Chains A and B, each alone.
Chain A
Amino acid sequence: MALRTLIARNPLRAAAPAASRGLQTFSLPDLSYDYGELEPAISAEIMQLHHQKHHQTYITNYNKALEQLDAAAAKGDASTVVKLQSAIKFNGGGHVNHSIFWKNLAPVRAGGGEPPHGSLHKAIDSNFGSFEALIQKMNAEGAAVQGSGWVWLGLDKEFKRLVVETTGNQASVVVLILHSTPSVSLSSQDPLVTKGASLVPLLGIDVWEHAYYLQYKNVRPDYLKNIWNVINWKYASEVFDKESA
């Protein structure tokens, strides 16, 4: 971990342009803490798998899909361009979401678990009644996500308010997918912006089973209860202040 570069790098921008056409691809962002530093809320084993395997796989597949998209678009191959959309949405969404998630977490020594102060604190009180009420709401909605997804605290820039949203397999749009003709993309890695163009994610909690299963097994509510001990409200406040200016 310590050998990683100190150069500040936005992982959601291109890390390395591909050779010929200037296609931007992506690489795994570093964590600013060691895998074990979020224990006992989240185990080191989970953090390592989640970061090095799951997130890396989203990036690898996203890059592959982007390269295929680039080639297809250059050739004017419309049906391939369309066919790639679900892979791009899923893997790109996975990359976007997890990049935010790592910043949403911090060890206790770095302020993890410390409630927000200042303007975000005020906004939480006025939108939800109290900090505790927000936690309860996010825990309830996170536990209720069927299957895989995320629970978000977002800023609605248009209406200047905070919202709690979930992105996940939505009951009303599930369809049976014939393998040979994938048509509807599933929402389980949809970024928050797919729920509303004016929504900015402040805080996301991954409720896919891979985020907690090795430690909490089927008891997702315990994971949700404990993760607040390592939530990095400093980052959420920074984003809030910047986006509500």
Chain B
Amino acid sequence: AYRTDEGQPWVLPVVKKVEQMIANDNSLNHEYLPILGLPEFRANASRIALGDDSPAIKENRVGSVQSLGGTGALRIGAEFLRRWYNGNNNTATPVYVSAPSWENHNSVFMDAGFKDIRTYHYWDATKRGLDLQGLLNDMEHAPEFSIFILHACAHNPTGTDPTPEQWKQIATVMKRRSLFPFFDSAYQGFASGSLDKDAWAVRYFVSEGFELFCAQSFSKNFGLYNERVGNLTVVGKDADNVQRVLSQMEKIVRTTWSNPPSQGARIVATTLSSPQLFDEWYGNVKTMADRVLLMRSELRSRLEALGTPGTWNHITEQIGMFSFTGLNPKQVEYMIKEKHIYLMASGRINMCGLTTKNLDYVAKSIHEAVTKIQ
């Protein structure tokens, strides 16, 4: 979760404002939402992902399912794919998850009934970057119709994203091999500060004619973690297909949670549908993204000034909340035990934990760990 420079959780100012508006609105009650969610939320959420000028939206071939966070969106999508993709109830369709990925991806698809979950090459530890060749190779050799979970931006946990050129190569192979793109978009806006930039890959795939799913989370970019606000965007060939898909997703939702929670969706819908509130929100998002970007550049420059062995440009080249520092498990142990700095054994740090007050200490500690421990 995001933290301020004081190390505190941050409720976005625009969220506070909108919550007050909702509280003061006596015409609102707590009645059930429709099964697929609040209509104004669904439409706005998908518009954010695909862009105001999205041809798919114009052509009326986009569907949306309000879900319990990004996880809920992934689960509804996974349940639907298991029932209806590549035949009926084909649990053998391979599902590819990046190595590494968010650990819950595996569990979501397993619990949805898929029996064959595999990894695709992603992180190259030696060069501390994307293993594009490994990735493309895995796609070339994946069985036709395999499902690939793609991180739309700010890859979790490595912070390493394909460049636009690399995305183009990925799309080319996926089209040729008839692979299904399931995007996980948990950081739109939060990664670069630009909604459009962070959605580039998803929109590119749409423009290339793919049918795809995109699980969206508004936990980070709206700071609405515990309200569980998510959206599954469905892009299909035409309105008729999308309509039938949604009717079946409705049945899946009905036995999972019946209908989604209203509070978070109201906050997001109200914000996104008002030009003024939307601008305020964009400013709040940029505040968060900029702070993280600042911490990245400050950490890198300190390490380089200290002359810490190795190269540290990956700290600023990576994007989003997390950074794969390259520290090995022994160095991580040193950081935890000797310096009381807590990070994952993988060397992953949460950039949100850095503040102007602790930057020096963290940089020095990394320097010590790298020079003392091999």
B and A form one assembly: no
